[in-house]
Amino acid sequence: MQRASRLKRELSLLTTEPPPGITCWQNENQLDDLRAQILGGADTPYEKGIFNLEIVVPERYPFEPPKIRFLTPIYHPNIDSAGRICLDVLKLPPKGAWRPSLNISTLLTSIQLLMAEPNPDDPLMADISSEYKYNKQLFLLNAREWTEKYASQQK
């Protein structure tokens, strides 16, 4: 019951006061199956891209973090081809930094920040990470191409 009321509160806040560039909603009226969209930030290779994410809220939420993954392919050192995201706040301690005081809005904002500032020292995609570190121009080119191909409006 506590989980449901907390989720309803979070969703209502996400609807009325969404973080800039982020939207989130229930998928087919399932309270534990959410969808989100993150707009690629200005001055990043993801600019003008719209990235869809899936959020699965576990039974033990907020004591366990939601499982969030990208549905839109993205060229990024911390996001793999299955859309899984390497980010400390998405994992439980001791390896992660998830706390029950965090919420879905905070997580989506953290993911948006990770998109703007990849962490090449904790990669899921080693090849993209080394490209980011040692050939930034090529990384930016590839990331822009992927954004255009998978995340742009002109279908």
Which residue in 86, 107, 108, 115 is the catalytic one?
Answer: 86
**Number of Cβ atoms within 10 Å of the Cβ of 36:** 25
What does pLDDT average to over the chain?
95
Pair of tokens at residue 57: 């809220």
Res. 155: pLDDT tops 60: no
CA–CA separation, 105 and 110 (whole Å): 9
Q: What percent of the chain has pLDDT over 70?
A: 98
Residue 86 is among the residues annotated as catalytic for this protein? yes
For residue 107, the one-letter residue type is L
How confident is the model at residue 154, as a pLDDT?
58
DSSP assignment, residue 41?
P
For residue 15, the one-letter residue type is T
For the stretch 120-140, pLDDT in tens is: 999 999 999 999 999 999 999
1-151 has CATH 3.30.70.260 classification: no
Res. 77: pLDDT tops 60: yes
Q: What is the pTM of this model?
A: 0.95
For the stretch 32-75, pLDDT in tens is: 999 999 999 999 999 999 999 999 999 999 999 999 999 999 99
- Over its C-alpha atoms, the chain yields an Rg (Å, rounded) of 16
Q: Residue 116, SS3?
A: helix
CA–CA separation, 55 and 117 (whole Å): 22
DSSP assignment, residue 12?
H
